[in-house]
Amino acid sequence: MSYVKPKELYEEICISLKQEKLTPKAQGMLILIAEKANQKLKYTDPKDREDCIGFAILDLLKYWNRFNPEKTTNAFAFFTQVAKNGYAKGWHKLHPGKYKGTVSLDRKTSSDSEGIYSI
């Protein structure tokens, strides 16, 4: 599997929730999300990338059952956000205090693209 189809992910997660156990196919999809969603992030040390992906996988496998299909059918967005939180958790664990004293702000520009700024 080279990519995750959102509809298939949703269906597999719903099956997993009914079984109260993550299916092997769903596990593979979550791992693939963790590996692929990280590709746009830049790291000076390749080991940091591997570690952050590991944190994301851990969070995905730990929190998969928090997805609520009654609230949304967009499992892909939910799990991508869980992975992003995992990368951030890993980065802060690897580099504590690197950005201490800064405040990050999300800002929508006139073209509706998102940018992150630190002050």
Kindly list the domain boundaries of the chain, sorted by start residue.
6-118
- Interatomic CA distance for residues 74 and 115, integer angstroms: 23
- Interatomic CA distance for residues 64 and 81, integer angstroms: 12
- Interatomic CA distance for residues 84 and 104, integer angstroms: 15
- Mean pLDDT rounded to a whole number for the chain: 86
Question: In the chain, pLDDT over 90 holds for what percent of residues?
Answer: 67
pLDDT at 95: 86
Each residue's pLDDT tens digit, 52-89 = 999 999 999 999 999 999 999 999 999 999 999 999 99
pTM of the model as a whole: 0.78
Residue 40's identity, in one-letter code, is: K
